[in-house]
Structure 1
Amino acid sequence: MIINWEFVKQRTLWSYEDLIKKLQQTLRYDFVQQYYNHTMEEAIDYVDEIHTGYLQHRGHRTWLDGLITNFTWLQRAGVENYLDLVEQVASRESCEHFLKESGFGFPELIETLHYLLRWVLPFPTPLREFFDTADPTQMAYFQALKAQGLTTNLDLLEHGRRAAQRAVLTQGTGIPSTFLLRLIHQSDLARLAYVRGKTVRHLCGGGYDTLDKLANADLQEMEAAMNAYYCSLDKRPQDFKAVVQLGPLIGGARHLPRIVEE
């Protein structure tokens, strides 16, 4: 079997090893394994949730149908869940063996792994993106979390999504519980596909500072609230609309698993 490994970088921007490493790093979190590690049957259903949520029933049907075909094939090949798939293709050698045994195509595998990384699994966002770097108090809080080994939103959600966990963090870092909970919610919003710290700050500025508020938002009301927020910054709302697309954000929020306990 001849495999064009350069195709991975052309499709995903990363080498095969880097793509696998990113998936492994995300799948190592307990909450990711609990809430995201779909069986292949669940993966097939979740493709339709992507279509109705993030994509708002628009286009991309050929791509989505291709993913459904891929997960159906993987199910027949005996793949249990996302973690099982990634473990079976963790190296180039094991990937070649998996493809030979299953008959699955290499381009289809890469498309599936890329989809998991970009659309399904939460992407790590540096915690620094949620802090005001000009505020000495906030940066002291940031350093306190860093000293605990918490440097991304996924780290913080792993160790602070439950009230009891936050109590331990508050005691260990001296960070006020109200600030910590706000940071948890910002980290939670960053689980949305293609959302990073800057978008989270804008959502919070418009009053949509929790995943539930976003999921329950009325689109017209949210557009008005966000327009008012942008105007308060002396910015034109249209400058942000291409970056912060409200409909897909609301749709995505409605399909994300709820993991934060108040």
Structure 2
Amino acid sequence: MLMKFLFITCLLVASHSANASLITHSGYTRAEASDIVSGNGLEWLMWDQTANMSISQALEAHTAQGWRLASNLDMAVLFNAFQFGKTDWSGAENLGQVAYTPWQLSEVSPHNAFTSLFGSTFNSALCDGPYPSSWCDGYAANDPLILAQAFYGSDDDQDGFYKSALVYDDFSYALQNNNDKVDGYAVLRAASWSPDAQSLSYGVALVRSASAVAVSAPASLGLFIIALMLLAFLRRSTLGGNNSLLSHKAKVEL
């Protein structure tokens, strides 16, 4: 009976671990309860975790946990995985790159998936200042602007400036005095930011080598309970065997 209970408990623990909710797109994955995105051999800290921080501040806060600033190549690999309407994103230091896709009333896009994975760094104060309100309202009541922006870079030319990456879902911009609707908008800007620069709605892209997958806390607790129960079962079996042996010995002596 006890072994049957242990078997059922193992199944429940395994089921809990297997059914952990995951967000996955273009080879990158994040558990909903986690702030770490994994893909292509790297872990990325969600960009919203460093929102409104400078590169210097983010590194000071997170270097001890193994995080480093994402390089030009790291970001190019990431953008080429999602593509965003472009398949030749470059890691060049001083090259600005832009790609956009026509607007559609749909949330199924690599831009939306990206912000779901890396978090939205949007700050509503943008709509009260540098951005026109029309950029922030969206094109439907349930379809607002979502964006993820972050500083990154390698400073390959050692001029002290770093790059920035932008991914927008449901964006508009002024062109010939008209507001053009854009579903997805992605940019890798040329290096122009100092390591101490801060800007509304920008985070910092931090990466580290992918670590071994840790057992989740609920699964660890379940395995610990199973181990204790198994030890109790083995002890009971051992004691039962010893009692039988003593009983048999007593009968022989009689």
> TM > 0.5 between the two?
no
Find the structure with the greater CA-based Rg: 2
TM-score scaled by structure 1? Answer: 0.21
Determine which structure has the larger strand proportion and give its number.
2
Which one has a larger percent helix, Structure 1 or Structure 2?
Answer: 1
Using structure 2 for the length normalisation, give the TM-score.
Answer: 0.22
